[in-house]
Amino acid sequence: MGEPRVSILMGSTSDKEVMDEAKSVLKKFGIDYEVKVLSAHRTPKMLHDYASQLESSGIEVVIAGAGKAAHLAGVLASLTTIPVIGVPIITNDLGGLDSLLSTVQMPRGVPVATVGIGAAKNAGVLATQILALKYPELGEKLKKYKEEMEAAIRGKNE
Ligand code: RP5
């Protein structure tokens, strides 16, 4: 499908296992993506530089996963008009509630569409749904995906 359309960001390589679930969804729907490790705290300049070239690079949705004082999605959302989906990463200390609140509780005017703790798969599906507004073939694939989910549950009941 040409240029990458989704950017998957994570605050640390320790987030990779969770964020790979978003990648799998995008692969399933045939959506191009790029993956970067960038931190709002450890690499602030790199994050700003990355954000400044996002719109010209053809990225249409960002998925950003981070844990603890999880500012990655929020800082990114402050620097771009591209929709940002936040994935709060589970943590050992507070079970990911820290990440969830840091990601979802954005000030007015700077939203981050936040999925559940560790719910990178849902972030991938939501990114696909956003892109489907522009790419009708993705809408068709999403309908099929929902039918498959239903059929799988029907099969288990039988
Ligand atoms: C955050 O701190 C990352 O997103 C990660 O979830 C958390 C812990 O990072 P590491 O100390 O494992 O690199 O910035």
- Walk across the sheet containing 33-37 and list its strands: 33-37, 6-10, 61-66, 84-88, 113-114
Query: Tens digit of pLDDT for each residue in 107-117?
Result: 999 999 999 99
| Ligand 1 close to Cβ of residue 124 (< 6 A) | no
* pLDDT for position 4: 53
Q: Closest Cα to atom 9, ligand 1: which residue?
A: 12
Please calculate the CA angle 105-61-87 and round it to the nearest 5 degrees: 40
Q: Once rounded to an integer, what is the mean pLDDT over residues 83-101?
A: 98
Structure tokens at 17: 């296992």
* pLDDT for position 9: 98
Q: What is the DSSP string of the chain?
A: --S--EEEEESSGGGHHHHHHHHHHHHHTT--EEEEE--TTTSHHHHHHHHHTTGGGT--EEEEEE-SS--HHHHHHHH-SS-EEEEEPP-TTTTTHHHHHHHH-PPTT---EE--TT-HHHHHHHHHHHHHTT-HHHHHHHHHHHHHHHHHHHHHH-
Cα-to-centroid distance, 11 and ligand 1 (Å): 6
Cα-to-centroid distance, 138 and ligand 1 (Å): 33
Q: Once rounded to an integer, what is the mean pLDDT over residues 26-30?
A: 97
Q: Could you identify the atom of ligand 1 that is nearest to the CA of residue 99? A: 6
Residue 1: pLDDT above 80?
A: no
**pTM score, whole prediction:** 0.96
| Ligand 1 close to Cβ of residue 39 (< 6 A) | yes
Cα-to-centroid distance, 44 and ligand 1 (Å): 14
